[in-house]
Amino acid sequence: MGKQEKMFKRCPRCDNKCISSTEKCPDCGLIFSRLQYATNGAAKEKMRRGDREYILYVTELPKDLSYVKLLLFSLFLGLFGVHYYYTGKYVKGFLMSALFAYTIVLVIFNQYLVAHEFLMEILAIPVAILVLAWIVSVVYVLSRKFKVPVAIEVSKTGGFKA
């Protein structure tokens, strides 16, 4: 299976299975060598402008993101969603932060909830979702399958910014 994985690669735009030596995706026309110019900063800027059409999600980290930072953020601050904010996945980061705040509220009102056991069982489900999402994202970062938004920054003259 390891040999077969190296023979093929997935196109980040259309998810088509392409031969590794192919320079261009036969389905969508993405030129793979242009991905070396893709940055996470350009993707964040395009997201702010609402221009999501040119954003790709790749597992190979761009040059403006650090794997060590991403790993440390996901391990130690992952329950807050900091690793999602770092990579520009703001909605997921907000959801993780909101679930963590919800967990803090549950801890504060623990005495009331213990008195009403049926509430504790129902309200503990989002806490389980938070912990599970954190564990899954740490595993994805460790296995280098964590998808990061990238975009190619194009200069005003039409070339790529290096």
Q: Could you read off the pLDDT of 90-138 as tens digits, one per residue?
A: 999 999 999 999 888 887 877 666 666 666 677 778 889 999 999 999 9
Q: Could you read off the pLDDT of 9-52 as tens digits, one per residue?
A: 888 888 888 888 889 988 888 888 888 889 999 999 999 998 88
Query: According to the model, what pLDDT value does residue 156 have?
Result: 52
Question: In 10 A of CB 23, how many CB atoms?
Answer: 9
CB 58 within 8 A of CB 148: yes
Q: Is the pLDDT of residue 162 over 70?
A: no
Rounded to an integer, what distance in angstroms lies between the CA atom of residue 111 and that of residue 117? 10
Q: Is the pLDDT of residue 161 over 70?
A: no
Question: In 10 A of CB 36, how many CB atoms?
Answer: 12
> What is the residue-wise DSSP string for 79-134?
GGTHHHHHHT-HHHHHHHHHHHHHHHHHHHTHHHHHHSHHHHHHHTHHHHHHHHHH
Query: According to the model, what pLDDT value does residue 14 have?
Result: 87
Displacement of CA 5 from its chain's centroid (Å):
22
CB 138 within 8 A of CB 70: no
Domain positions in the chain: 31-152
Query: According to the model, what pLDDT value does residue 33 have?
Result: 87
The model carries a pTM of 0.82
Q: Could you read off the pLDDT of 50-102 as tens digits, one per residue?
A: 888 889 999 999 999 999 999 999 999 999 999 999 999 999 999 999 999 98
